[in-house]
Structure 1
Amino acid sequence: MSSPPKRVAQYVYLKPEYLQDYKKCHAAVWPEVLKQIKDCNIEDYSIFYDDAKSLLFASFKYVGSDWDSDMKAMSANPKVREWWDMTDKMQESPFPGATGSASGPWWKPVDEVFHCA
Structure 2
Amino acid sequence: MASKEPPRRTAQFIYLKPEHLDEYKEIHEKVWSEVLQAIKESNIADYSIFLSLTPRPTLFASFKYVGNDYDSDMLRMASHPKVQEWWRLTDGMQESPIPGAKGSAEGPWWGQMDEVFRLE
Q: How does the TM-score come out when normalised to structure 1?
A: 0.98
SS across alignment from 2:9 = strand
Instruction: Confirm or deny that 1:84 pairs with 2:82.
Output: no
Name the CA distance, whole Å, in 1 between partners of 2:84 and 2:21. Answer: 21
Compute the RMSD of aligned alpha carbons: 0.9
Q: Aligned residues, how many?
A: 117
Specify the alignment match of 1:36 in structure 2: 38
2:97 to 91, 94, 98: 94
SS across alignment from 1:4 = coil
What are the superposed Cα offsets for residues 9-66 of structure 1, whole Å, 9 maximum, x if unpaired? 0000000000000000000000000000000000000000001121000000000000
What are the superposed Cα offsets for residues 88-107 of structure 1, whole Å, 9 maximum, x if unpaired? 00000001110100001000
Q: Which amino acid aligns with 1:8?
A: T
* Identical-residue share of aligned pairs (%): 60
Structure 1: 4+ residue segments shifted above 2 A: none
Name the CA distance, whole Å, in 2 between partners of 1:69 and 1:26. Answer: 26
Q: How does the TM-score come out when normalised to structure 2?
A: 0.95
Q: Which amino acid aligns with 1:100?
A: G
Q: Which amino acid aligns with 2:32?
A: W
Structure 2 gaps, min length 5: none
- The structural deviation recorded for 1:115 is 1.2
